[in-house]
Structure 1
Amino acid sequence: MDKFQDKRLRIKQIAVDFINKMGGSTVVEDPGIPLVTKSNGKYNRYVDNQDSVSTDSAVGSQAPGAGGTFGITSRYDNIGYKLGRRKVLINRRRMIVNVEFATALLGIALMLFETELFIRGVFTKSDAGSIIIKSMITVSTVALLVAIVIYHVIGVQIQMTDNSWEDWRLAMNFPVSYLTILFELLICSIHPIPVDIEIPSYGVNGEYRMVSLDAIFSILMLARLYIVCHFTVVHHRLLTDTSTQSLGALNKVKIDTAFVFRALMSTIPGTMLISIMFAILIIDSWALRTCEIFYSPGSPESSYLNSMWLTAITFLTIGYGDIYPSTYCGRFVSVLTGLMGVGTTALLVAVLAQKLEQSRPEKYVHNFVSRVQLDKIRKNAASDVIKYALTLWRMKRQGVIGGNHRTHVYGKLLQSIYTMREAKNEKMTIGENSVGVIEVAKSVNDVFEIVEQIQGEQTSLQNKVISMEDKMKRIDEKLDLLLGKQ
């Protein structure tokens, strides 16, 4: 009988393991299994650093049926191995993001240096100095593209570890993942090439000029600044903390840029909005100045201060009209600035509304004071109703039926009745509005505690009734015995 029972338990465990594998979950080891096993006087490691798990040590240290699906051992069956490998991959990804951040900022700094030297007339686009600097930008761009590919490879490995996948193709969502990688590579590959290429450009007045293509490439190269978001995410405490990593991995919570941005907006919204607005002002001002100065170097918009003024009034959706862009590139930058201004203004309004909202203690104090004031108003109005009603009754007893004085007293009576009713209704409204989710949850908890207390009392009463019935039954049996003896 014991053999059949053991066999049934093992078949049940194999079925559970198969269901867990199909669902993407992990097989948690039996708590009774020691973390290390002693063999030949030495202790084996609980978490193996190698990619493959030895069947002699892993299967030997696990309970029967806990070795994987249908006896097949997987390296992801060990949850300690999963957490350790995930930590190693996250540290490796952090290092790659540091390389991305350094190469991206290096390329942008070289681009700004070369553009400013060209604007100030130090050299032209065909000089050796410009070609050397742009060649250095190309080298940094190649290094950035390689780092991006490695970053996505590590991301795929992290997904495989989290979901216990053995094939990397399961982590790639076709075609979204492939298009995302290609789009990111395309964005980061844009840079001023080490040759001088000029294209025809038309201004808003229809004037035709030959403009260097580096102006467009330099502005589009600023799109690499999205890597700053990656850098902030991988160095944020939500991702560097070991407990947060474990909770995120076990609960399938993706800690990405959007998650960290929402966390920062909930903790330091003012600092985030000021930083975003300042970054938009600096970047868009430089982009607008570059568009204008390559087309018409002597225009008012080619000044950085004038570009900042135009960007500011466009960001705030004011638009005085004293300065306006003279190129289609400048108009495009102005439109983007306006859209960013509208979105940032919406965030600013939401943050201000949240900051101006009363806290729970302030709301309770305000509601209490308002109720006290309304009670006073209602009592005063009730006393006025009694006073004016007695005045009208006395005037009626005295035979005063008409007259201005009686009409005035009657109007005061109606006004007092109206004030009393309004105070009562407003007090009821305050009571209804003060009930929120927290109050409802507290009431539900109180009701739950009362119900549990009643259930406990009913159980105790039921036990007492059962005990009483048993005692009465024993008394009845003893009485039967006594009567039987007689």
Structure 2
Amino acid sequence: MRRVPLECVQLQGDSFSLALRWMILASTIALDVLILMYHFVEIKISLVDTGSEYWRVGVTSERLLKVLTELVICSMCPLPGTGYVNWPILKSKYTDRRVELPFDVLLCLPMFLRCYILCRFMVLHSAQFQDAATRTIAVLNQITVDFPFVVKTQLFDRPLAMICAFTGSFWFCMAWMLAQCERYTDTDTPGLRHFLNFIWFEIVTFFSIGYGDVVPQTYCGRALAISTGIVGTFVSSLIIALVGRRMQLSLAERRVNQVIAESQLSNSYKNTAASVLQHIWFVHKYRKQLDRHGDRGSKRITFRIRIHQRSLLQAILAFRRVRWRLRMRLEEEDEYIAFRRAYVETQERMTEFRKKQNQLRTQLATLNEKVESLSDIFASPSCIILPPTNQTRKAISAIDLHRLPSI
């Protein structure tokens, strides 16, 4: 069996690593050029919006700082020919142990900051950004279609999918970075096992469990662990907020419960009012009996009066409590129900007013018809006005004397 020398294997590995670094460097340069082109197009669009032709108008200090920050983030990559750096290990408390860590590992970690390009891609390909009508409505309402707006929209529409996608991607990226930082501290463990161990470490740290079976031994690993805990706390709060929003009753459900509660309070209000009247009647009844019978049976009647007086006091207190609860319910009721009730009451009053108006109109029409019929009768030539008789004169005189004011 032929054996390949270790020097040849290392040379082949170094050649592949060197070629990979050159490819990463070339792609990084291309990415920087594309970022400059993107901002150049953004400046041209801003010039069209402002109606200016001078390019310096679109180059603000904020945009310039944004371009420089993006170029710095996207320019970080492992370079060919980099050496090693002494990396302290924090495992031992008494001895200072160090390992030689390739500088390429440290340059690989900031490359994950390029994930902001995915956020920009999500904004540019979102339905809110591509739809001209939606963008017009957003501009009229002074809303910018940016990454926070798109993320909040997606969280509102698909919260579970968004949280699962972000959490899974975050675990994978952080586990890979932790494996790169920690794999040189324990050279006996294979790389895949390192990666799986730190996926487990990410999960338990993300949810603030922390069993302590996997512990980072470098400053880089501990910084990443702290970042994982902070992001995990944020995501946990977001999940609690989303679950709380999902558990809230809808507007129709709140209205149904409000109508039921109001109906129950109205029934209690009527029952307590009836109880007050009932006990008042009993007290009045037994007092009448006490006045009627005198000393005979006075103790028994007085005892019953005291019982109903106590019951009357309790009924009055219950009536006040129910009235207060009903008043608070009316103050806290839904605006839609309040407007609906006011509308219904107004409609009922208007209906009653129209009904009375129609009755008055009908009575006036009937009176008009009778007056016209009387006018026709008096205007006819066959109508003969006879002189009043003596009996008629006496009746008229009696009526006039009756109407005279008394002296």
TM-score, length basis structure 2: 0.69
| Residue 188 in structure 1 maps to residue 74 in structure 2 | yes
1:43-94 C-alpha deviation (Å, 9 max, x unpaired)? xxxxxxxxxxxxxxxxxxxxxxxxxxxxxxxxxxxxxxxxxxxxxxxxxxxx
Q: Tell me which amino acid in the other structure corresponds to 2:330.
A: G
Q: How far 1:125 sits from its partner (Å)? A: 10
Farther-moved stretch of structure 1 (242-251 vs 146-155): 242-251
The structure with the largest alpha-carbon Rg is 2
Separation in structure 1 between the aligned mates of residue 141 and residue 165 of structure 2, nearest angstrom? 32
Q: 1:360 and 2:246 equivalent?
A: no
Distance 1:387 1:244, change over 3 A: closer
- 1:418 maps to 2:317: yes
Matching residue within 176, 181, 204 for 1:286: 176
Q: What's the counterpart of residue 316 of structure 1? A: 207
**C-alpha distance 231-137 of structure 1, shift in aligned 2 (>3 A):** same
Partner of 1:127: helix, strand, or coil?
Answer: helix
SS at match of 2:240: helix
- Quick check: 1:277 aligned with 2:161? no
CA distance in 2, matches of 1:264, 1:309: 28
Equivalent residues in 2 for 1:355-394, closer than 5 Å: 355-388=246-279
1:190 and 1:220 in contact (8 A); partners too: yes
Greater shift, 357-366 or 150-159, is seen at 357-366
TM-aligned CA deviation for residue 187 of structure 1: 0.7
- Aligned-residue sequence identity (percent) comes to 27
Shift of 1:165: 1.7
| Other-structure match for 1:158 | 45
Cα displacement (A) at 1:422: 2.5
Inter-CA distance 381–141: structure 2 relative to 1 (3 Å threshold) = same
* Preserved contact between residue 125 and residue 196 of structure 1 (Cα < 8 Å): no
2:83 maps to 197
Greater percentage in helix? 2
Deviation at 1:393, TM superposition (A): 6.1
Q: Look up the equivalent residue of 1:209 and give its one-letter code.
A: V
Aligned counterpart in structure 2 of residue 258 of structure 1, from 135, 148, 151: 148
1:211 aligns with 2:90: no
Match of 1:115 in 2: none
* TM-score between both structures, scaled by the size of structure 1: 0.58
Q: Deviations over 1:115-157 (max 9, x none)?
A: xxxxxxx868971111111111111111111101101111111
Q: Kindly tell me: are residues 440 and 201 of structure 1, through their superposed partners in 2, closer, same or farther at Cα, counting changes over 3 Å?
A: farther
Determine the C-alpha separation between the residues in 2 that align with 1:344 and 1:438.
Answer: 37
2:248 pairs with 1:349? no
Match of residue 12 from structure 1: none
Structure 1 vs Structure 2 CA RMSD: 3.5
Aligned counterparts of 2:263 and 2:230: Cα–Cα separation in 1: 48
Whole-Å Cα distance in 2 between the matches of residues 358 and 225 of structure 1? 37
1:135 matches 2:22:
yes
Q: Structure 1 residue 381: deviation in Å?
A: 3.0
Q: For 1:375-429, what per-residue CA distance to the aligned partner results, in whole angstroms no more than 9, with x for missing partners? A: 22233333444445556666774425998x9887666554443333232222222
Partner amino acid for 1:275? A
- Matches of 1:139 and 1:441 in 2, distance apart? 68
The alpha-carbon deviation at position 365 of structure 1 amounts to 1.0
Q: Deviations over 1:30-51 (max 9, x none)?
A: xxxxxxxxxxxxxxxxxxxxxx
1:472 aligned residue: none
Quote the residue 1:450 is aligned against: none
Residue type of the alignment partner of 1:152:
H
CA contact (8 A) 2:255 2:334 kept: no
Cα separation, 2, equivalents of 1:251 and 1:435: 26
Describe the shift of the 1:319–1:377 C-alpha distance in structure 2 as closer, same or farther (beyond 3 A): farther
Tell me whether 1:144 sits opposite 2:31 in the alignment.
yes
What stretches of structure 2 of length at least 5 have no aligned partner? 1-8, 291-297, 347-407
Shift in CA distance, 420/442, structure 1 to aligned 2, threshold 3 Å: closer
| 8 Å CA contact retained: 1:162, 1:249 | no
Q: Distance in 2 between matches of 1:438 and 1:125?
A: 78
More displaced stretch, 415-424 vs 243-252:
243-252
In structure 1, the gaps of 5 or more residues are 1-121, 448-486
Residues of 2 paired with 1:341 and 1:408: CA distance? 65
1:222 aligns with 2:121: no
Map of 1:410-449 to 2, 5 A cutoff? 413-436=312-335
Partner SS for 1:211:
strand
1:267 lines up with 2:157 in the alignment = yes
The alpha carbon displacement at 1:190 in A equals 1.1
